[in-house]
């Protein structure tokens, strides 16, 4: 007979949040778990969109990915704009930050998110993910402002991602370790499956887009040569081009994911606020590290909600070695 405890995400959130986080933050995380279920139910049907259509039965050839992005964005906003827990949001899908409509009460938190990262992979049935970060409002008395959204990652109170893979997983941290939940589609519940995740000490993978090597700096090439040639045991290279999935694999098996600057992309590709910083927060909580190649991603104060940054993230020693190559050059 199985004796493993079955713990739902709701039970876990209620039992583990510190006192200051009880209430709004817990409820916000639970609302994100609900968004995850709704988005998962649509991404699972992605391959059927050409046959069955999507949402209002409009089926525009070649538009599926964009539509799932927009759908995911819409679900997160509509589940969260009226709850009185948020004062503002930022989404990769929207050019401007999102104020809470005046007709709804304002809360104390800021939600930044990428609704469906890696969505160019959808039409080949490769995993995609939602990334989120949560900050406290700077001034509880006022309605949300742009300044509330432009905080350094160090001030985040919680971060996480949802991975739409062979299973749907929600992985989050509210500053007390990193915990993973797997969606049981039959029960419609996220169940605790990975408590207290830490990067394994011996990493297995490095994840860079080698096709970009011709556009990397010399120290960057030297670093990737070092990753591929100087490790014992030897690291394998894995790169899906879907950052949540690449990060998750490396979190579970150990490794480093990177998207450096290139001569035609001086700040790389990854967005600081809602892609790099939340994953860096999780990495630190799991004993790892996230850097822009010069210092912690969590120490950068964004000046623009969609600003990009070079990214190196994973096992601390591997990320620090990237800094040694780049800064030491």
On whether the CB atoms of residues 171 and 248 are closer than 8 A, the answer is yes
Minimum CB–partner distance for residue 7 and Mg ion (Å)? 30
Closer by beta carbon to Mg ion, 64 or else 114: 114
Q: Which residues in the 98-137 window bind Mg ion by CB under 5 A?
A: 114, 117
Considering CB distances under 5 to 8 angstroms, the limit depending on partner class, which of ligand AHM, Mg ion, none binds residue 168? none
Q: SS3 letters for 131-173?
A: EEEEEECCCCCCCCCHHHHCCCHHHCCEEEEEEECCCEEEEEE
Which position has the token pair 């990854």?
A: 270
> By CB under 6 A, how many residues form the interface with ligand AHM?
10
Name which of residues 232 to 251 contact ligand AHM (CB under 6 A): 241-243
Residue with tokens 């933050």: 25
Binding mask 61-100 for Mg ion (x = CB under 5 A): ----------------------------------------
Phi-psi label, residue 232: left if phi above 0, alpha if psi -120 to 50, beta otherwise: beta
Q: Establish if 66 lies at the interface with ligand AHM (CB under 6 A).
A: no
Distance CA 12, CA 6 (A): 10
The entry of Mg ion, ligand AHM, none that residue 209 binds, CB within 5 to 8 Å by partner kind: ligand AHM
Among Mg ion, ligand AHM, none, what does residue 93 contact (CB within 5–8 Å per kind)?
A: none
Under rule CB under 6 A, residue 306 binds ligand AHM? no
Span from 10-18, 53-61, 111-119, 197-205 in contact with ligand AHM (CB under 6 A): 111-119
Q: How many C-beta atoms lie closer than 10 Å to residue 180's C-beta?
A: 21
Q: What span, in angstroms and rounded, lies between the C-alpha atoms of 270 and 276?
A: 7
Choose from Mg ion, ligand AHM, none: what does 127 bind? Cβ within 5-8 Å by kind: none
The encoded tokens of residue 117 equal 């990262």
Count of residues interacting with Mg ion (CB under 5 A): 2
The nearer residue to Mg ion, 114 or 323, going by C-beta atoms, is 114
The SS3 assignment for 308 reads strand
* Residues found near Mg ion in the complex (CB under 5 A): 114, 117
């Amino acid at each position: 007979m199985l004796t493993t405890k079955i713990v739902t995400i709701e039970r876990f959130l209620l039992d583990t949040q510190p006192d200051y986080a009880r209430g709004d933050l817990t409820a916000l995380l639970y609302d994100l778990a609900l968004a995850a279920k709704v988005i998962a139910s649509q991404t699972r049907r992605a391959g059927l969109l050409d046959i069955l259509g999507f949402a209002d039965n409009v089926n525009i050839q070649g538009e599926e990915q964009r539509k799932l992005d927009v759908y995911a964005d819409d679900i997160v906003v509509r589940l969260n704009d009226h709850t009185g827990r948020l004062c503002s949001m930022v989404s990769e899908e929207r050019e401007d930050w999102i104020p809470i409509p005046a007709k709804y009460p304002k809360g104390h938190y800021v939600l930044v998110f990428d609704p469906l990262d890696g969505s160019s992979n959808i039409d080949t049935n490769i995993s995609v993910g939602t990334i989120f970060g949560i900050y406290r409002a700077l001034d509880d008395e006022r309605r949300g402002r742009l300044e509330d959204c432009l905080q350094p990652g160090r001030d985040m109170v919680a971060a996480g991602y949802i991975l739409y893979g062979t299973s749907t997983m929600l992985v989050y941290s509210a500053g007390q370790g990193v915990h993973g939940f797997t969606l049981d589609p039959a029960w419609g519940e996220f169940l605790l499956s990975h408590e207290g995740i830490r990067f394994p000490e011996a990493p297995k993978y490095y994840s860079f887009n080698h096709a970009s090597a011709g556009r990397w700096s010399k120290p960057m090439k030297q670093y990737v040569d070092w990753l591929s040639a100087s490790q014992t045991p030897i690291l394998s290279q894995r790169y899906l081009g879907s950052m949540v999935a690449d990060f998750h694999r490396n979190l579970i098996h150990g490794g480093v994911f990177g998207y450096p600057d290139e001569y035609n992309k001086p700040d790389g590709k990854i967005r600081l606020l809602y892609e790099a910083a939340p994953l860096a927060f999780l990495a630190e909580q799991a004993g790892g590290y996230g850097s822009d190649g010069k210092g912690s991603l969590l120490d950068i104060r964004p000046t623009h909600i969609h600003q990009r940054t070079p990214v190196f993230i994973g096992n601390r020693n591997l990320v620090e070695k990237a800094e040694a190559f780049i800064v030491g050059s």
